[in-house]
Structure 1
Amino acid sequence: MIKFTIRQMEYFEALADTQHFGRAAALAGISQPALSAQIAELETRLGVRLFERGGRTAPLTEDARALKPRIDHILSELRAIEATAQRGRPTMEGQFRLGVIPTVAPYLLPRMLPPLRNRFPAFTLELREAVTATLVEETATGRLDAIIAALPLDHPAIMVEPLFEDRFFLAVSVADPAFASPPVPPDNPALERLMLLEEGHCMRDQALAVCDRVRTTAISNYGATSLTTLLQMVAHGQGVTLIPELACSASQAIPELKVVPFAEPAPFRTLGLAWRKSSSRVRECQTLAEIIREVSISAPQLDHPS
C-alpha cells in the first residue's frame, strides 16, 4: 500500500495553489528546503513527478492536475470531520489573533469589543493593525487567526465571509464653498484636490476608483499614513478626502470638518472577515462575524451627515 501523510497532502495543496516553492513554504509555515523534501518524498511514494522544477514557478504536471481534485476532496472531508469534533468542545475561549486594516480598526473595534467581552469573557483578542497585503500574508502563514479588511481579498489559502457594506462620503472643510450644495457628483472638479492615504492602503485605490472621472495628477501628489491625519489636514483647508461611513461619527469631534454625501448611487466598500481554509477555528470566526454584523446594524446610520 502507498503510504503518505496528511501533512504531505497539505504541502501538495499549498504548492498546487501557489505554484511557487517559496510562497508555498511560507503558506505552510515551514522552510522551503523542508517543503521541497516532503514534495520529493511524496513524488517518490507515488512514482510520478508532480511539479516542474527549474523555472521561477512550479507548474503542475499532468499527473498532478489529475490528482489535485482527489487530494482536495480528502482534505475537505478531514476538515469537516475536525469541525464536527469541535462542536462538542467549548468555543470562543483562549487567545485569538485578529488583524484589522487601519481605516477600520479605530472605528469598528470600540463597537465590537464590549459585546464580545460581555458574551465571551474567556475569549481574548490579540489585535494587529496593518495594511491589507501584510494581514493577508500573515493569515495565510498562520501568524494571524483572522483579519477584517475590505474586499476583494484574493489569496488561494484563505476564505472570506462578507460582513457589511460601508458607504463612502466626502470630508471637506466647513469653509469650502465648492461643497455648499451636496450631494457631490463623481465628476466634481473640486475632487482634484483629493488627498490620499499612502501606497499600500486599500482605501487609496478605492478613492481613485470613486473619483476616476477627474484629473488624477493633483490627486496623487500627497499620501498620509492615517485617515486621522488626512481629516486634520482637510479641516485646515488643505484639500478634501474620502471617509467611510464607519468613521463619520469620529469626524464629528473636528468642528472645522464637514461630511457630505456623494450623488446616488453612492460609492461603498464591502468589509469582510477572512481566515485560512485549513483553520481549526472556523466556528469562532463565524461567531465573530455574527457579532460584527450585529454591531454594524445597531450603529447609528448617517443618511445626512454634516
Structure 2
Amino acid sequence: MPTVRQLEYFLAVAELRHFGRAAQSCNISQPTLSHQLRALEDRLGTALIDRAAQSVELTPVGREISERARRVLREIRDIRAVAARARKQPSGIVRLGITPTLGPYLLPALIGALNAEQSDLRFYIREGIPAEQTRDLASGRIDLMVGPGPVIGEDLEVVPLFDEPMSVVASRSHHLAGIAHIDRSDLKGERFLTLDPRHHYHQQVQRVCAELGAEMLLDYEGTSLDSIHQMVGSGVGLAILPELYLRSEVGGDALVVRLPVQNWRCERAIVAAWRAKSASADDYRTLAQRIRDEAAELLA
C-alpha cells in the first residue's frame, strides 16, 4: 500500500514537472525523492513517470493515479482538520490562492496580525489567475482563495469580503493632471493600460473603457500592477489602480496622480471561496471575517 508521503512526493513531481523543484518543495533531497518514487512504482507494479521523455512526463496510468491521489490527500487533510478542531487547536498550513493584483498589498498586514494571534497557523501563498485558482480549489490544490468576483464553481462556498475602490491615474505631466474637476467626457478617447485577458482586471478595464468611450491599449499589456504604474508614470497612457495598491508601501502612487472624475465611481468586489464540504469550512469562515476586518482597517 502506498504511503501518504510517497503520494505527496509523486504529486509534487506531477504538478511541478521537475524532480529538483519537487524535492525542494517537499524539503527532501532529490535522491530521496527518486528512491521513494521508485518504491511507489514497485508497490503499485506499474510505471508512473515516463523516464524516456526529454522532460518529466506522467504515463497514462500516472495521470489517472495523480487525480485519485489528490482526492485521497484532500480527504486525509480533512481528517486531520477534524481532529485538530476537536482539540480546539486550529493549526497547520492553509494553502491560500490569491490574485497578484491584491496579494502583495493585503497579505503583509494580515499575515503579520495572524502570526501574532495564532503562532501555529501557517500560510502557503500561491498567486495566480482567479479562473485557474477556482479549478485548483475544486481539485484540492489550494484550500482557500481570495480575489475579485465573481467566483463560479461547483460545490464552492463564496462569501463577499469588501468592495475596493479603483481610481483613474495619470502621469504628473499628463494634460489632465492638476485639473480640479474632470468630467467623464474628458476621458473619451484616452488610452488605458491593462493586464493580459486572463485577469479580472482586464475585463474591468474593458468595461470602464466602453463606459467612458476610452481606448484599451492591447499592445502595451502589463505583467503586474507595478509595470502598469511605471508605464503610466512614463506617459504611455492612463490606468485604473486599486486603492490597496495605491496605499501600500510596495505599490504606491509615487509616479502618478489621481484624476478626480466627477459623478463616476469604480470598485471591484473581493470575495473568498472554499470547498463547501471541506472539514475546515468553519475555520475558513473565521479567516474570511479576519480578512474583511483587516481590509476595512487598511481602507479606512
Which residue in the other structure is 1:285 paired with? 284
Alpha-carbon distance change, 134 to 190 in structure 1, aligned in 2, over 3 angstroms: same
Provide TM-score, normalisation by structure 2: 0.68
1:49-198 maps to which residues of 2 (within 5 A)? Answer: 88-182=86-180, 184-189=182-187, 192-198=190-196
Alpha-carbon distance change, 242 to 291 in structure 1, aligned in 2, over 3 angstroms: same
User: How far is the alpha carbon of 1:118 from its aligned partner?
Assistant: 0.7
Amino acid at match of 1:193: R
Which residue in the other structure is 2:255 paired with? 256
Structure 1, unaligned runs of 5 or more: 1-24, 35-82, 302-306
Provide TM-score, normalisation by structure 1: 0.66
Which residue in the other structure is 2:26 paired with? none
Q: 2 CA distance for matches of 1:183 and 1:203?
A: 26
State the SS of the aligned residue for 1:196.
Answer: coil
Contact 2:170 2:232 in 1 (8 A): yes
Q: 2 CA distance for matches of 1:288 and 1:91?
A: 15
Which residue in the other structure is 1:66 paired with? none
Contact 2:84 2:90 in 1 (8 A): no
**1:240 corresponds to which of 219, 238, 241:** 238
User: How far is the alpha carbon of 1:185 from its aligned partner?
Assistant: 4.3
Amino acid at match of 2:149: L
Contact 2:82 2:279 in 1 (8 A): no
Which residue in the other structure is 1:223 paired with? 221
Amino acid at match of 2:160: P
Alpha-carbon distance change, 292 to 191 in structure 1, aligned in 2, over 3 angstroms: farther
Alpha-carbon distance change, 123 to 146 in structure 1, aligned in 2, over 3 angstroms: same
User: How far is the alpha carbon of 1:128 from its aligned partner?
Assistant: 0.1
Structure 2, unaligned runs of 5 or more: 1-62, 72-80
- CA deviations on 1:159-186 (whole Å, 9 max, x unpaired) are 1011000011012111112243255544
- CA deviations on 1:92-135 (whole Å, 9 max, x unpaired) are 30011000001101100112111111111100000000011111
Aligned length: 227
Alpha-carbon distance change, 258 to 171 in structure 1, aligned in 2, over 3 angstroms: same
Contact 2:171 2:255 in 1 (8 A): yes
Which residue in the other structure is 2:25 paired with? none
Contact 1:275 1:285 in 2 (8 A): yes
**2:200 corresponds to which of 182, 199, 202:** 202
Runs ≥4 residues deviating over 6 A: 83-86
Which has the higher mean CA deviation after the structures are superposed, 233-242 or 249-258?
Answer: 249-258
State the SS of the aligned residue for 1:164.
Answer: strand
Q: 2 CA distance for matches of 1:84 and 1:98?
A: 19
User: How far is the alpha carbon of 1:281 from its aligned partner?
Assistant: 1.1
Q: 2 CA distance for matches of 1:135 and 1:187?
A: 37
Q: 1 CA distance for matches of 2:278 and 2:261?
A: 40
Alpha-carbon distance change, 218 to 115 in structure 1, aligned in 2, over 3 angstroms: closer
User: How far is the alpha carbon of 1:190 from its aligned partner?
Assistant: 5.3
State the SS of the aligned residue for 1:188.
Answer: helix
Q: 1 CA distance for matches of 2:180 and 2:217?
A: 21
Alpha-carbon distance change, 254 to 269 in structure 1, aligned in 2, over 3 angstroms: closer
1:30-45 maps to which residues of 2 (within 5 A)? Answer: 30=68
Q: 2 CA distance for matches of 1:198 and 1:153?
A: 18
User: How far is the alpha carbon of 1:219 from its aligned partner?
Assistant: 3.2
Which residue in the other structure is 1:269 paired with? 268
Which has the higher mean CA deviation after the structures are superposed, 125-134 or 181-190?
Answer: 181-190
Which has the higher mean CA deviation after the structures are superposed, 116-125 or 288-297?
Answer: 288-297
Contact 2:189 2:215 in 1 (8 A): no
Amino acid at match of 1:297: A
